[in-house]
Amino acid sequence: MKSEIKKFKNKRVLVTGADGFMGSHLAEKLVKLGAKVSVFIRGNSVNGTSEYNLRNLKNIMNKIEAIITGNIGSSDAKKLILDNKPDYIFHLAADAYVPNSFNHPLEVMETNLLGTINVLESLRSSKKITQAVCTSSSEIYGLTIGKSIDESHQLFPSSPYAASKLAADRYCYSYINTYNLPLSVIRPFNTFGPRHTYDVIPKFINLALNNKPLTIYGDGKQARDFTYVDDMIDAFLIMGSNKKAIGKFVNFGTGKSHSILKTAKLIVKICKSKSKIVFIKKRLAEVPNLVCNYKFAKKLFNWKPTTKLEKGLYQNIEWSKKNLKM
């Protein structure tokens, strides 16, 4: 892997969604690798970019080549991307909070699908881009058949968010086959770590550190495959640099199943919290089980996760203690 990621040194790399959780970690790692990193983040103009939007990039602000602000799903996004003249693109910009899609399905579709199409059109129009990665989601699989999910698993999206990501995923497939683009698609399973401020693990950590009740939908038996962010960033770098990745759709996760209830109890234990666990009505369109089969990633790239859940949670909790308002 080390020889492959050296390809990024002195290359122009554009990261969309770089103000987000995984995008900021990826941008930071690319800067460390010597890439000339530009970021595409939310905002209407440079003057309209708020300090809040840039908070996740504070460690590398003075090393970023260009900050592009705008709506990735808008009609001018393609021009903004092409004007940047990137050698590589990592597309992570998305409306990724599943519950938000229940109330705002159209807006989520515009960001997740049209934003991806803008990236695909940029890739189709450019002769300069060496390789690009689009981010899909494990949510596209929906209801699981069997104990774990490989890339051949049927696709049953159960929320508007999942449907929007599946539509984007299939658009990538069609563009690869129609235009022979140097594109790969990563399908990350639930990722956690510092800077993640929504979803179940950061939510539980914040509540536990404040000794507040942890709310679980249903009975808590629903299971997820939680992957630490450092492992997932390594996966992104492989997908963006290894020629074997081009044209491929690849799952990345740990292959380990963790129930929401057991995860909640573990967080309470590590935090030494007095929090109680409270059960409420099952959530709309809840997927009962999402566990990754990463054999394809291992076969292609010899990739495997290195951070176990408890170690990752400990590192996440320590970060939260220092950075989140208690």
What domains does the chain contain, in order, with CATH numbers?
2-191+229-253+291-305 (3.40.50.720)
d(CA 135, CA 192): 16
For 88-117, how does the pLDDT look when each residue is reduced to its tens digit (9 = 90+)?
999 999 998 887 888 899 999 999 999 999
In the block, tokens 């292959």 appear at 255
For 205-234, how does the pLDDT look when each residue is reduced to its tens digit (9 = 90+)?
999 999 999 999 999 999 999 999 999 999
d(CA 88, CA 133): 8
Edge-to-edge strands, sheet with 249-252: 66-69, 36-41, 12-16, 88-91, 131-135, 183-188, 249-252
DSSP 8-class letter at 46: S
Residue 69 phi/psi, 5° resolution?
-115, 140
d(CA 137, CA 61): 28
Residues whose CB is less than 8 angstroms from the CB of residue 157 and which lie 6 or more positions away in sequence, other chains included: 139, 140, 142, 163, 165, 166
Q: CB–CB of 112/165 below 8 Å? A: yes
d(CA 240, CA 131): 6
Read off the amino acid at residue 230. Answer: D
pLDDT band at 274 (very low <50, low <70, confident <90, very high): very high
The tokens of 176 are what? 């690869």
- pLDDT for the residue numbered 145: 73
CA 226 to chain centre: 12
Q: CB–CB of 159/102 below 8 Å? A: yes
pLDDT band at 275 (very low <50, low <70, confident <90, very high): very high
pLDDT at 326 over 70: no
Burial of 139 (C-beta count, 10 Å sphere; 0-12/13-18/19+): buried
The tokens of 35 are what? 């890439």
132 has which bridge partners? Answer: 89, 183
